[in-house]
Structure 1
Amino acid sequence: MSTGKAALIDMGTNTFHLLLVEINEVGFKTLYKEKIAVKLGKGGISQNQLAPEAQKRAFHTLRHFKNLIDGEQIDQIFAFATSAVRNAENGAEFVEKVRKDIGIHINVISGEQEAQLIYEGINLSGSLNGHTNLMMDIGGGSVEFIIGTSQDVFWKRSFEIGGQRLLDAFHYHDPILPEEVEKLEAYCLEKLQPLIEAIQLYKPTGLVGASGTFDTLTDIYFESMLQCKLTGQHVFELPTADFERIFELLKTKNRSQRLQIPGMIPMRVDMIVVASCLIEFILRYMPVEAIVCSHYSLKEGAVSRLLAGQVTI
């Protein structure tokens, strides 16, 4: 295990995350974390482009992150870019400009690598047990699905049907129209056939959702129960009946009404409707009583590799 400080940057299609950690003999300590709604995919993802305004927001955020990293005197930086950058025709040009202007080297990872890191993050959180679980992470650009246990991955795949893409393709009216939901579900049925076959083959019994939308859904649930999340807790349960109740609420409200829901954050308010439609679709094939929500995801997967002494990620 390599000890010392490290910075992890997860450059998602919707959100950029910064995690500063100190690796020691027993595990890791979080020094600082921050997330910013950069919306890198906005205005260009459906054309396989990074729009100029989106790039401007990304540069602004990465400069801010670099200042914080330098302030902590950290030289180990692991930055990952996912769906928006890997599919953009001007993605390589953007990565090179970040390296030259800011001094951050970005790893553009494949969907398969992304799924593996998400699995390792979920595993580090303690969300998995001896049973076979279906794990999912809903990003802005892609959605990763993994079937496995705490010991093994049996199947994993990334699908380019993330929240920003679904938003661009289906969510034209606010509140969303029933026929838009139907079209979105038909699209999922078409695109997710390999997943449906894998569920039938491996028969997972639990559903685990990673960070993002799942964090916000559990926040809304805890607020509705007048409960607080415990600091330091990384795994939460969302009863399916409560998810259904929240989903009905999200479908019938417009943006400003959704913002009034206790537990909602502006960062998630736009994508949460289509993301919840996707969860609802998955529940048809995974009739569980509760969804396990892991606060850990890709960046913690990278931390787990550092803990294992794998400096190359």
Structure 2
Amino acid sequence: MIPETHANPARNPAAGRVAGFIDLGTNSMRLLLVRINPNHSFTILSDRKETVRLGEGEFVEQVLQPQAMQRAALVCRQFVEMAQAYNVEEIIAVATSATREAENQNEFLRLLKREAQIDVHTVSGREEARLIYLGVASGVELGKEKAVFIDIGGGSTEVIVGDKQQIHFLDSLKLGAIRLTSLFFLPGEPGPIDPGRYALIQQYVRNVAVRVIQGVQQHDFELA
């Protein structure tokens, strides 16, 4: 589908159905509201982002923290209310790394259902990578050239090699800004990073990424 300009529903009578998409990431949450037009293009009505740090304090014990869950539930409820103001017909909500790895995932999903009246689907790392590819490939003119896409999030990093037509390689790494902060720093610890710890972080990243690097190297690509 081809994106069009942002529009205000008060000035633009509905010509198609309105859908909402909520992304519950490890660091931030996003809301995208679009009108799907009869010609299969779409008009962006609203695009919001809020930093909630859902994964803060999670990755050592694999448990979402109560305060982080409450922050996410509050923002999710606000997003749903925004969507309803646009007479949304459907809301699709997905959660990624922080939620899918949490031992108290079900507790969090029940909280979202209770507080925001919404069902949230947890996607796998590979599915997250596939969705990233679809989003980028639909908005960037690739032609026949292969490109490598790298999306660095709070809890995971997705790596994809693909062209306009298909995916040639994809994977998801357990590497992200909040994850590394949780693993290598105490809460509230001030910087700067000493050279010894920086070297440890670098080695950790190399060890986690080595398999994916080898996979990417098997594919010739022209763009990144």
Which bin holds the TM-score, normalised by the shorter protein?
0.7 to 0.9
- What pairs up with 1:1-313 in 2 under 5 angstroms? 3-24=16-37, 25-126=39-140, 128-170=142-184, 174-207=191-224
Distance, in Å, in 1 between the alignment partners of 2:59 and 2:69 is 12
Unaligned runs of 5+ in 2: 2-15
| Paired letter, 2:157 | V
Between the two proteins, the alignment pairs up a number of residues equal to 206
Shift of 1:206: 2.0
Partner of residue 251, structure 1: none
Question: Secondary structure at the residue paired with 1:141?
Answer: coil
Does the Cα contact within 8 Å between 1:133 and 1:147 map onto a contact in 2? yes
4+ runs deviating over 4 angstroms: none
In 2, the alpha carbon distance for the partners of 1:98 and 1:18 equals 15
**Aligned Cα RMSD in Å?**
1.7
CA deviations 1:20-78 (Å, max 9, x no partner) are 10011141111011100010001223321110110110111011111111111113000
Percentage of matched positions with identical amino acids: 34
| Residue of structure 2 equivalent to 1:253 | none
> Does the residue aligned with 1:192 lie in a helix, a strand or coil?
helix
Q: Give the alignment's TM-score, normalised by structure 2.
A: 0.86
Comparing 36-45 and 80-89, the one that deviates more: 36-45
Displacement, 1:91? Answer: 0.7
SS of alignment partner, residue 122 of structure 1: helix
Counterpart amino acid of residue 25 in structure 2: G
Contact 1:112 1:157 in 2 (8 A): yes
1:20 alignment partner AA: L
Letter in 2 for 1:52: P
Normalized per residue, the structure richer in helix is 1
Task: Tell me the amino acid that sits aligned with residue 161 of structure 1.
Answer: L
Deviation at 1:129, TM superposition (A): 3.8
Out of 179-188 and 191-200, give the one that drifted further: 179-188
Q: CA deviation at 1:13?
A: 0.3
Of structures 1 and 2, the one with the larger relative CO (CA 8 A, separation 6+) is 1
Please tell me whether the aligned partners of residues 57 and 182 of structure 2 are also in contact (alpha carbons under 8 angstroms).
Answer: no
Question: Contact conserved, 2:17 with 2:89, CA < 8 A, in 1?
Answer: no
TM-score (norm 1): 0.63
Unpaired runs of at least 5, structure 1: 208-313
